[in-house]
Copies of this chain bind each other. A is one copy, B any other.
Amino acid sequence: MSSDAPATGPQRQTRQRTAVQSVLEGRDEFTSAQDLHDLLRRQGTAVGLTTVYRSLQALADAGQVDVLVTAEGQTLYRRCSSEHHHHLVCRTCGRTIEIAGPAVETWADAIAREHGFSDISHTLELFGSCPACSSG
């Protein structure tokens, strides 16, 4: 039904996009567009904030980065594996671990179908204090 391939619009290889991607490669925490912008500046490869936002948007659309909206409404991004998964995030240091939950997936679908809902999707994230941060 819906259009097939996500129609990945034209993609020119620019210095900026490469920079954003490379910074993401090197981090395992979820990071905000603004923080990424700062990191890029410090690292020498300055990129306009607007472009950082656009690059992240594109990467997210292409499914190359995961998006996480905090309780405060901030949007964070992270380079993740491509399979469907969820996250266990440290509330203090941001350290993130990808977790798979086959059981949860089927449970979610079952519950939803049970109520007559279709075209189901879900969000599931775990938060806590990682070993390092909780041993304060």
A interface with B by C-beta (< 8 Å): 67, 69-71, 73-75, 88, 90-91, 97, 99, 101, 103-104, 107-108, 111-112, 115-131, 134
The answer for the CA separation of A127 and B75 in the assembled complex, in Å, is 19
Copies of this chain, count: 2
The answer for the CA separation of A132 and B134 in the assembled complex, in Å, is 47
B128 touches A112 (CB 8 A): yes
Known interface pairs A88-B111, A104-B104; A126-B134 also in contact (CB < 8 Å):
no
A-B residue pairs, 9 tightest by C-beta? A117-B128, A73-B73, A116-B131, A120-B128, A124-B124, A122-B126, A118-B134, A119-B129, A121-B127
The distance from the CB of A88 to the nearest CB of chain B, in whole angstroms, is: 6
The answer for the CA separation of A124 and B99 in the assembled complex, in Å, is 14
Given A108-B126, A117-B134, A122-B125, 18 additional A-B pairs, CB 8 A: A69-B69, A69-B70, A88-B111, A88-B112, A99-B111, A101-B107, A115-B130, A116-B130, A117-B128, A117-B130, A118-B128, A118-B134, A119-B129, A120-B127, A121-B127, A121-B128, A122-B127, A123-B123
